Amino acid sequence: MSEEVWNKRTPEQVGKREHEVFEKTLLPYVDAAYNLARWLTRSEHDAEDIVQESFLRAMRSFGTFIPGRDARAWLLAIVRNCCRTWLKRKGFDKPLNELDESVPATELWSDPEAVVIDNMNSQLIRRAVEELPLEYREVLILRELEELSYKEIAQILEIPLGTVMSRLSRSRRELHGRLCNVIQEGRK
């Protein structure tokens, strides 16, 4: 389509084209959006509502999206903000759980696959992750399940790169400690 023809589109054509671009750009990440919302809210139903709200917000502000930018990171930042708003409305804006600082930093994930496969089931792991404080849970989910880079996580969470690494380290240590405690209790 020539630029002259492009600029003479009707409002319906403009809206339809923008909607098509929006769908092509963001719909591939609906599962990632749901996954993040589910882990942050701990509720399938609330996660569905938050994803819907996130897509509405994304659609309203899609004009600010810079082509070439990471669409998944942009969408997940919106999902995260919607989750934070939801948590504040529900009164969950304060940390739900404190970290167990007694877990030594040197005992980190010597062989996590063996520990998980040999001693845990997925429900136990899910519960342990859900019990992590929100700021540690979200960084763990974005890195381990969504496989985002540290830089992408820092962009989504709007925190420095060093804070991402620190939170990720602490969340792994806390998760490891919680799983080890369950294993030891199960052996008694």
171, 136 in Cβ contact below 8 A?
yes
Q: Please answer whether residues 51 and 30 qualify as being in contact, where contact means their C-beta atoms are separated by less than 8 angstroms.
A: yes
Read off the pTM.
0.66
For the chain, where do the domains classified as CATH 1.10.10.10 start and end? 105-187
Token pair of 86 as six digits: 């939801």
Answer whether CATH 3.30.450.20 is correct for domain 105-187: no
What does the block give as tokens for 140? 């763990």
Check residue 2 and give left, alpha or beta (phi > 0: left; psi -120 to 50: alpha).
beta
Candidate CATH numbers 1.10.1740.10, 1.10.3720.10, 1.20.120.1770, 3.90.105.10; the one for domain 3-89: 1.10.1740.10
The confidence band for 42, taking pLDDT boundaries of 50, 70 and 90, is confident
Lowest mean pLDDT among 13-17, 30-34, 66-70, 150-154: 13-17
Which residue, 132, 127, 124, is CA-closest to 97? 132
Amino acid at 115: V
Instruction: Please check the confidence at residue 63 and state whether its pLDDT lies above 90.
Output: no
CATH 1.10.1740.10 residue spans of the chain: 3-89
What is the model's pLDDT at position 35? 93
pLDDT tens digits, one per residue of 102-156: 444 444 445 555 544 544 457 777 888 888 999 999 999 999 989 999 999 999 9
| Rounded Cα distance, 131 and 91, in Å | 16
What average pLDDT does the structure give for the chain? 79
**What's the burial of 57, exposed, middle or buried (CB within 10 Å: 0-12/13-18/19+)?**
middle
Angle, helices 71-89 vs 150-157, to 10°: value is 40
CA atoms of 134 and 40, how far apart (whole Å) = 7
Tell me, what's the pLDDT at 133? Answer: 92
- List of residues 6+ apart from 92 with CB closer than 8 A: 134
